[in-house]
Chain A
Amino acid sequence: MKKAHNIYKSKKLIKISLEYDEFNNIIHSIKITGDFFLYPEESLDRLEVSLIGTKLEKDSIKQNIENCLSDSEIFGFDSDSITEAILGCSREV
């Protein structure tokens, strides 16, 4: 299991702590933190849970985020920026 972190500057800062399986590229655990606003707040917990088991590739992550946050209002990032923030973890050396 590989651990990785990434800080991504969108309108607000998004910080990702990720644990993923390097061989099949599957997310094992993820923590998303930052100074953004999200309503209702609990939707971030739901998003983190739903990302577990997701393939670490753009379309799967983005679709997951869009499904999960479809009824939420976000200020400070969008589905593209959070997808990039997550993918940035696996690009770290």
Chain B
Amino acid sequence: MNFNFSEIRVLETRYGTAAWNMALDEVLMNCVTDIPVLRLYGWKPIAVSIGYFQSIEEEVDIQKCNHKGIDVVRRITGGGAVLHDSELTYSFITRKYTENILESYKLICDPIVACINKLGFDARFVPLNDIVVNGKKLSGNAQTRKKGILLQHGTILLDVNVEKMFSVLRIPSEKIRDKMISDVKERVMGLNKTFEEVAFALKESFSEKFDARLIVDEITIEEEENTKNLVKEKYATDEWNWKR
């Protein structure tokens, strides 16, 4: 199958709350046409997202999050808990994709690898869902498929604050906190570039990878309304966030 697209709809939706960010991803999945969507965004306030199969109770120190004003939300995608702080987050939503899950991760991670390399690094895709530079992870990605539509979203780390991450995520025991912090510091890195620099390189890389013209767009009034409703009905509810 040929995975070139003639056009990609680009949405730069700036900084949103956790519930709004996740609701908009789902809304875009529900209304994507044959033109795929590349969305770039950030999180304000900073937030923890947990994987679809995780439990807030097990993964997140909810009292600390509440105290620090950190949002918490469940994603529709699997994978682990992420503290969304200094990063660029993207979503890519498409009706055209390969059924092979590993190949589809690679397909969408390729332009991210290219983006990071444009910025002067030597990145590579590590299946299933990571992108690393010199063995250090700087991008995690997760996808879901529903009704013939694929959504992949992921983060590109700009900077890493491991202490902050461990201050809001639950760890098996306090005794190993310092060891875990030093391990993660060894295994994770940020690009040390601005959001705008990475956004520019990422758009260019998606255009090149899929031989597509970028159509810079805004979300429609209908998409905005549907997102607000989905925040209320799903992503801001305990029923969804505390589902497991």
Q: Report whether chain A binds chain B.
A: yes
Residues of B at under 8 Å CB distance from A? 51-55, 58, 76-81, 101, 128-129, 142, 144-145, 172, 244
Question: How far is it, in angstroms, between the C-alpha of A39 and the C-alpha of B52 when the chains are bound?
Answer: 11
Report the number of A-B residue pairs with Cβ-Cβ less than 8 Å: 46
Contact A39:B101 (CB < 8 A) given known A7-B172, A15-B58, A75-B128: yes
Taking CB as reference atom, which chain B residue is nearest A11? Answer: B128
Question: How far is it, in angstroms, between the C-alpha of A36 and the C-alpha of B77 when the chains are bound?
Answer: 10
The minimal Cβ–Cβ distance linking A86 to chain B, given in whole angstroms, is 15
Please indicate the chain B residues that have their CB under 8 angstroms from the CB of A35 in the complex.
51, 53-54, 78-81
Contact A36:B145 (CB < 8 A) given known A31-B244, A41-B53, A44-B53: no
Q: Does A53 contact B (CB under 8 A)?
A: no
Question: How far is it, in angstroms, between the C-alpha of A34 and the C-alpha of B81 when the chains are bound?
Answer: 10
The minimal Cβ–Cβ distance linking B243 to chain A, given in whole angstroms, is 10
Question: How far is it, in angstroms, between the C-alpha of A33 and the C-alpha of B242 when the chains are bound?
Answer: 12
A42-85: contact bitstring with B at CB < 8 Å (1 yes, 0 no)? 00100000000000000000000000000001010000000000
A38 touching B244 by the CB < 8 A rule? no
Taking CB as reference atom, which chain A residue is nearest B57? Answer: A33
Main secondary structure of the interface of B (DSSP, over half): loop
The minimal Cβ–Cβ distance linking B56 to chain A, given in whole angstroms, is 10
Please indicate the chain A residues that have their CB under 8 angstroms from the CB of B55 in the complex.
15, 31, 33
Question: How far is it, in angstroms, between the C-alpha of A73 and the C-alpha of B145 when the chains are bound?
Answer: 12
B79 touching A37 by the CB < 8 A rule? yes
Q: Does A32 contact B (CB under 8 A)?
A: yes
The minimal Cβ–Cβ distance linking B100 to chain A, given in whole angstroms, is 9
A33's partner among B144, B145, B172, B244 (CB-CB below 8 A) is B244
The minimal Cβ–Cβ distance linking A54 to chain B, given in whole angstroms, is 20
